Structure 1
């Protein structure tokens, strides 16, 4: 008989968010920069991230198209050190920040799944 606790149940995931949910002030994300978000929707959770680059924002579901893992190994670190590309820290795939197109690595030619976001009066919101 094992003294180990039973495994934690897997949290249910959702892949969309309702519109007009305030996430943060636009200026809370540096340019270039990124930030991850986890939203509870009912009993399930949505995992996404936003990139800010060249005065624009783009949101993506936090799931690499190659293996399905979240992209960042460290909290909010979705970009390469120079801020030029999104980086999957697990397998090295790189993506264009504003289009989500994979330009190198195991899923070259693939895309991140967009998460509609917008800035309204300086506040980043779901769209």
Structure 2
């Protein structure tokens, strides 16, 4: 199942860690999965059908991994879910642009990904300080 494979790739990338390093590695693994398995990714992209227990369980594993990785940021439950959506959107957008050849400049895409994720995480840190 494509969702399980993506979840497994993200779990391996996090390797039991949380926080910025884990999230950077999760984002990289996400992009790599899309590059290596575009058809599988496309099949896993939609929201899970809650009437399919195996699919719902696989999606829950990936969601929980991301929530656990964001735990050091001290976000409320709602904010953590918003952050997961944001992170997923960043990764999806980055992967989609890359797949369409949108990063043709002589500039390393992995450095751009790291910069983007770092900026996103810096925003989460500031948000938790402001709360």
TM range (shorter): under 0.3
Question: Structure 1 length as normaliser, TM-score?
Answer: 0.26
Question: Structure 2 length as normaliser, TM-score?
Answer: 0.26
- Greater fraction of residues in strand: 1
Greater relative contact order, per chain length (Cα 8 Å cut-off, separation 6+): 2
